[in-house]
Structure 1
Amino acid sequence: MGANKAYQAYQNNSVNTASGGELTLMLYNGCMKFIKQAMKDMKDNKYEAKNKNIQKAQNIIQELMITLDPKIEISKQIMPLYEFIQFQLKEANIKNDVTKLEEVLGLVTEFRDTWKQVILKNRQQQFAKGEPV
C-alpha cells in the first residue's frame, strides 16, 4: 500500500508541475487509454465499464474543446474534429461499434503525436536560445 501512495503522490506532483503543453499531452494519453479500455470492455461484453470509459474519453475531449482559444486560427480547424470525435464516441457507445472507437483512437493518436512534436520543437528552440526548459 505504501508504494501505491508514493505512486499517487508522484502522479499528483507530475500534474501539478506540468506545463500547459504537457498537460494537454497527458489529456490525449488519458483519452487514448480510456478508448482502448472501452474497446476491450466492448469485446468482453462489459457494457457498464465500456460506458464509463467512453464517458471519460468524452470528458477529456470536452475539456480540450473548452481550452481551445477561438482567436487562434488553428482552433477553428481543430474544433470540428473534436466535435466529430465526440459524435463518434457517442455513436460507438450507443451502437457498441468498435470500428468507430478504432477510428477515433486513430484521430486522438494523431493529435497526441503532433502535440508531442510541438512540445519537442519548442524545447529545442528554448534550448538553442539558452532559455530554461
Structure 2
Amino acid sequence: MEQRQAKRVHLFQRVQVDDGTNVLETFCLDISMRGILLVLPERVNWHLEQALKITLTTEAGEVLMMNCSLVHVDDDVVGCACDSMDLESQQVLRGILETSLEVPSQINRELSELISSSD
C-alpha cells in the first residue's frame, strides 16, 4: 500500500487548468498541501513534469491557485505535485483541509513542510 506524507482529502470540485497553451475545465478528485488529483480532460497531450496552473474556486468564492508539475497520468486521472502557491491560496487550502481532516493539527505540520521546501 502506498504511504503518502501529506494527508489527502476527497474534494469533488470544478477546476480550471492552464497548460500554457489552453485553459481547460475539469474536476479535482482530491487535494493536499503537496498536490492535487484531477480527472484527465479529453484530448490533451500532457507529459510528465509539464507545468500546470490550477485554479479552484470554493463555494464561498475563495480562490486557490496552485503552480504544479504533472507527476503521473493514468487512464482517467492526472496527479500533480504542488510546486508553489501564494499565501492566500495556502490559507484557502488550509481551510479546506481543516474542515475535512480528522486531526486539524496535522495541517500545521504539512504547511510548515511546504513552506520550508519552497525556501
TM-score by length of 2: 0.30
Q: Rg larger in 1 or in 2?
A: 1
Structure with a larger share of its residues in strand: 2
Structure with a larger share of its residues in helix: 1
TM-score by length of 1: 0.28
